[in-house]
């Protein structure tokens, strides 16, 4: 039975507000949906993340747990209420900016509100009291240290100074505030779920009940008949390609009758309704018949000859291997048996690593808005916006220029937003209804649907001589790819290339298998396969050290990659290899540390582990990104790039690069990212690559703009172009200067447009034949 709505009166940020809601409606929903105070974020709806924190009657509370029947007459302060009448920042907000305590920013308003409530009661809290005052807040990005410093600064306490830089440049290497920091600390920053448009509908997907089953029937007639339901879509309603995927096109947009569901996150139908509540009720009205099938629960089980086949089409291209094999990588160097014959000690052990959730605080969300011509703009938060566009266009069977993808602020990714989640569904729903459609995954649904870190089973056999020198290393890796490919091919390749860690081993054999199972798909996650191999290899190193009577530090010193040494795949280290020096610095710190091994019932010991990771795609893959830089007649500059800002700070990097090269003050550089209509493709925001590739694209575009403007400035200053200095918004030479804005105006009059697009292509890395 539906509850009747009632009128409630609250004082919100100093103003009396009257709202109509049911007694059980959450205060968070009223603040966001009715009052449009979207600074309080919905990260879980269960009180676990603290992103919805507000101050109610002087206490910091989680607004997602406060029903309206408990909010009548309350005095409420949200993040929007902390900013002054003329937009001036509260000292707490400024402290969060100063200390770099905003990354993705999704959790930031909740933290700041908790800080305000704490300091109102306790102006000088201890560290323990700071922890206690923020016990309901979670930050996935920062590690909390910057947040603690911000709270201490706001409390007037001493804060550790930032590390000094010996030779800072004009903008680079300086602690400048992020361009998006003010929006994030004030709650003005817009994430997808903060968008509301006229006539907006709400989408919900019906997920499979079974991890493996034949789909026999999907009857949506009862759901379509419900008042407020605008459309119910199945695979038959898809006008174009019915499968999607970042690389392998094997993941159904909506599962087809007579085909199979392969994990409990598979989408069977899509409901589009006037409200989220109606959409949820409509899901319950859809009648689905399944034929349950045997379930494949792990990668080794998937390899058995009698294992159920998950993808009927795969066996044809796996060279006779069982069809559950997604990929096999074989790497061999040297003479393995000869290496083991030389070994004085051999250790052999099997390791396993578990599936791991990314834990980004913002759940997946998307909003698709069709225009009068049928062109669709999709607002979302993906890590590969141009891939999102191409996959949406393929599903709708339209040219890519009929789709525009715009990233809003993104509340963390960590690899978990490289695959599409809701992007295709909202676009399909908007295409079918000719109205805007928003879809937001709940936390439980998000956990169930999106790809995770690969669970692995790793068997290692490693041989070493008496002095600790590694001579042989044999590895077998089984990776759980889950139901669909996602990025498993690439992740398991990286696990293979890093299977010996940052050590030189002359004789190696690695066999890696990525296997389809009925688990949630596995995909990109920070470390991208390297972490699993690193755990196993570092465990091997400790076992070897113990058997040889060496310290864990010394055996790593003995084998560490250094200039001139080769990785297990034969790649020679020619530059930027600082591991030996790092180990010496660690050793020096260990020697001078006042270490107490036994202290009452406590025991302490040193542990050491090493790992390394490639930057960029690597393994011979094409790796490029584009940026466009322009300088305007008012002296401002802009940089536009297709890469995604997911909290890693790319927008600040690009502003610093342009400021450095063009001498435009950092705060006068505007940054636009992730709009497929207005930016060049930056490819995937992954593998720690964007500072390098998009940063270089912005750098070289700026250099070309500077060269163009130098021609005009040289004429204005009657000076050689190579004598010009661009700094502080001026162009200088021999004691004379001219404002950059005047140079731009003159250049435009002469037909020289200070606007350059640049595509940077990273140096090609050799693809080794072993794969």
Rounded Cα distance between 568 and 502, Å, is 9
- Asked whether residue 653 is assigned to any structural domain, the reply reads yes
Exposure b/e, 143-160, CB count within 10 A at least 16 = b = ebebbbbbbbbbbeeebe
For residue 71, name the pLDDT band (cuts at 50, 70, 90): very high
According to the model, what pLDDT value does residue 316 have?
41
According to the model, what pLDDT value does residue 168 have?
78
Q: Which of 578, 574, 541 is nearest to 558 (CA)?
A: 541
Angle at CA 751, nearest 5°, toward 750 and 754? Answer: 105
Residue 459 CB-density burial (10 A; 0-12 exposed, 13-18 middle, 19+ buried): middle
Residue count (the chain) = 771
Is the same domain home to 280 and 387?
Answer: yes
Is the same domain home to 461 and 418?
Answer: no
Is the same domain home to 242 and 276?
Answer: yes
- Asked whether residue 6 is assigned to any structural domain, the reply reads yes
CATH of residue 158's domain is: 1.10.150.120
- Asked whether residue 342 is assigned to any structural domain, the reply reads yes
For residue 163, name the pLDDT band (cuts at 50, 70, 90): confident
- Asked whether residue 397 is assigned to any structural domain, the reply reads yes
Residue 124 CB-density burial (10 A; 0-12 exposed, 13-18 middle, 19+ buried): exposed
Confirm if 372 and 455 have CB atoms less than 8 A apart: no
Is the same domain home to 47 and 135?
Answer: yes
Is the same domain home to 248 and 115?
Answer: no
Rounded Cα distance between 12 and 55, Å, is 10
The stretch 175-184 carries a mean pLDDT of 96
Q: Which of 188, 222, 241 represents a domain boundary (last residue)?
A: 188
Domain assignment of residue 252, given as a range: 201-293+362-449
Is the same domain home to 110 and 240?
Answer: no
- List, for residues 85-107, the tens digit of each pLDDT value: 999 999 999 999 999 999 999 99
- List, for residues 458-490, the tens digit of each pLDDT value: 999 999 999 999 999 999 999 999 999 999 999
Q: What are phi and psi of 473, to 5 degrees?
A: -155, 120
CATH of residue 239's domain is: 3.90.1170.50
According to the model, what pLDDT value does residue 320 have?
45
For residue 322, name the pLDDT band (cuts at 50, 70, 90): low
According to the model, what pLDDT value does residue 535 have?
99
For residue 1, name the pLDDT band (cuts at 50, 70, 90): low
Rounded Cα distance between 51 and 360, Å, is 12
Is the same domain home to 257 and 387?
Answer: yes
Domain count, the chain: 4
- List, for residues 675-706, the tens digit of each pLDDT value: 999 999 999 999 999 999 999 999 999 999 99
According to the model, what pLDDT value does residue 596 have?
85
Residue with tokens 């791991």: 356
Q: Which of 226, 185, 198 is nearest to 88 (CA)?
A: 185
Q: Which of 449, 481, 502 represents a domain boundary (last residue)?
A: 449
- Asked whether residue 754 is assigned to any structural domain, the reply reads yes
CATH of residue 509's domain is: 3.30.365.10
- List, for residues 537-556, the tens digit of each pLDDT value: 999 999 999 999 999 999 99
Is the same domain home to 667 and 540?
Answer: no
The stretch 152-179 carries a mean pLDDT of 90
Is the same domain home to 69 and 142?
Answer: yes
Angle at CA 742, nearest 5°, toward 740 and 743? Answer: 65
Rounded Cα distance between 726 and 263, Å, is 58
- Asked whether residue 703 is assigned to any structural domain, the reply reads yes
- Asked whether residue 298 is assigned to any structural domain, the reply reads no
Is the same domain home to 716 and 577?
Answer: no
- Asked whether residue 769 is assigned to any structural domain, the reply reads no
For residue 767, name the pLDDT band (cuts at 50, 70, 90): low
What the block records as the tokens of 686 is 């992954």
Is the same domain home to 180 and 61?
Answer: yes
- List, for residues 333-361, the tens digit of each pLDDT value: 999 999 999 999 999 999 999 999 999 99
Q: Which of 136, 159, 188 represents a domain boundary (last residue)?
A: 188
According to the model, what pLDDT value does residue 319 have?
43
Q: What are phi and psi of 109, to 5 degrees?
A: -55, -40
For residue 728, name the pLDDT band (cuts at 50, 70, 90): very high
Average pLDDT, the chain: 96
Whole-prediction pTM:
0.95
pLDDT value at 171 more than 60: yes
Residue with tokens 């021609």: 711
Is the same domain home to 472 and 517?
Answer: yes
């Amino acid at each position: 039975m539906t509850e009747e709505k009632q009128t409630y009166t609250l004082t919100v940020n100093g103003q009396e507000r009257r709202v109509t809601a049911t007694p059980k409606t959450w205060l968070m929903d009223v603040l966001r949906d009715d009052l449009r105070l979207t600074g309080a974020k919905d990260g879980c709806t269960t009180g676990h993340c603290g992103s919805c924190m507000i101050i109610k009657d002087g206490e910091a509370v989680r607004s997602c747990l406060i029903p309206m029947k408990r909010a009548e007459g309350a005095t409420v302060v949200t993040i929007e209420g902390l900013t002054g009448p003329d937009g001036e920042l509260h000292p707490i907000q400024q402290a969060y900016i100063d200390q770099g305590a905003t990354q993705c920013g999704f959790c930031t308003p909740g933290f700041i509100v908790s800080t305000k409530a704490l300091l109102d009661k306790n102006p000088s809290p201890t560290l323990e009291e700071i922890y206690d005052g923020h016990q309901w807040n979670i930050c996935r990005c920062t590690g909390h240290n910057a947040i603690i410093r911000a709270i201490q600064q706001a409390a007037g306490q001493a804060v550790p100074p930032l590390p000094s830089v010996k030779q800072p440049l004009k903008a680079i290497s300086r602690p400048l505030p992020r361009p998006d920091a003010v929006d994030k600390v004030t709650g003005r920053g817009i994430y997808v779920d903060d968008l509301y448009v006229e006539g907006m509908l709400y989408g919900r997907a019906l997920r499979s009940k079974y991890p493996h089953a034949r789909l026999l029937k999907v009857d949506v007639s009862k759901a379509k008949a419900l008042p407020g339901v605008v459309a119910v879509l199945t695979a038959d309603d898809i006008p174009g390609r019915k499968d999607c995927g970042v690389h392998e096109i094997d993941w159904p947009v909506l599962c087809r009758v007579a085909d199979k569901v392969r994990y409990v996150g598979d989408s069977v139908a899509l409901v589009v309704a006037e409200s989220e509540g109606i959409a949820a009720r409509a899901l319950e009205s859809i009648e689905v018949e399944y034929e349950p099938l045997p379930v494949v629960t792990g990668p080794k089980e998937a390899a058995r000859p009698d294992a159920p086949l998950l993808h009927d089409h795969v066996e044809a291209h796996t060279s006779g291997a069982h069809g559950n094999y997604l990929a096999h990588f074989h790497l061999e160097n040297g003479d393995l048996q000869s290496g083991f014959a030389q070994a004085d000690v051999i250790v052999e052990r099997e390791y396993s690593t578990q599936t791991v959730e990314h834990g980004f605080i913002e759940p997946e969300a998307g909003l698709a808005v069709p225009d009068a011509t049928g062109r669709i703009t999709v607002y979302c938060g993906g890590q590969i916006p141009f891939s999102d566009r191409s996959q949406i266009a393929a599903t709708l069977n339209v040219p890519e220029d009929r789709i525009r993808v715009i990233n809003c602020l993104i509340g963390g990714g960590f690899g978990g937003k490289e695959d599409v989640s809701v992007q295709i569904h909202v676009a399909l729903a908007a295409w079918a209804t000719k109205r805007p459609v928003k879809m937001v995954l709940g936390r439980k649904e998000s956990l169930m649907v999106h790809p995770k870190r690969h669970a692995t089973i790793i068997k290692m056999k490693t041989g070493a001589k008496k002095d600790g020198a590694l001579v042989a290393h044999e590895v077998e890796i089984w990776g759980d790819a889950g139901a669909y490919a996602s990025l498993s091919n690439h992740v398991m390749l990286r696990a293979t290339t890093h299977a010996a860690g940052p050590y030189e081993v002359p004789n190696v054999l690695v066999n890696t298998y990525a296997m389809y199972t009925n688990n949630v798909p596995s995909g990109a996650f920070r470390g991208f396969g390297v972490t699993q191999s690193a755990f196993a290899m570092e465990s091997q190193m400790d076992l070897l050290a113990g058997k040889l009577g060496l310290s864990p530090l010394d055996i790593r010193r003995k084998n560490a990659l250094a200039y001139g040494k080769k990785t297990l795949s034969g790649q020679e280290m020619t530059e930027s290899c600082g591991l030996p020096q790092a180990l010496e610095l660690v050793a020096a710190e260990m020697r001078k540390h006042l270490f107490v091994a036994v202290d009452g019932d406590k025991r302490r010991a040193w542990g050491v582990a090493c790992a390394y990771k490639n930057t960029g795609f690597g393994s011979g893959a094409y790796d490029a990104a584009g940026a466009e830089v322009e300088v305007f007649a008012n002296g401002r500059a802009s940089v536009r790039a297709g890469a995604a800002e997911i909290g890693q700070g790319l927008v600040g990097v690009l502003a610093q690069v342009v400021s450095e090269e063009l001498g435009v003050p950092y705060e006068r550089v505007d940054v636009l990212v992730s709009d497929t209509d207005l930016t060049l493709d930056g490819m995937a925001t992954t593998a720690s690559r964007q500072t390098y590739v998009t940063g270089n694209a912005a750098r070289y575009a700026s250099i070309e703009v500077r060269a163009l403007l130098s021609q005009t400035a040289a004429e204005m200053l009657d000076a050689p172009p190579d004598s010009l200095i661009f700094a502080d918004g001026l162009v200088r030479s021999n004691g004379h200067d001219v404002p950059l804005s005047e140079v731009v105006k003159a250049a435009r009059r002469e037909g020289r447009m200070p606007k350059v697009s640049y595509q940077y292509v990273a140096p090609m890395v050799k693809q080794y034949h072993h794969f």
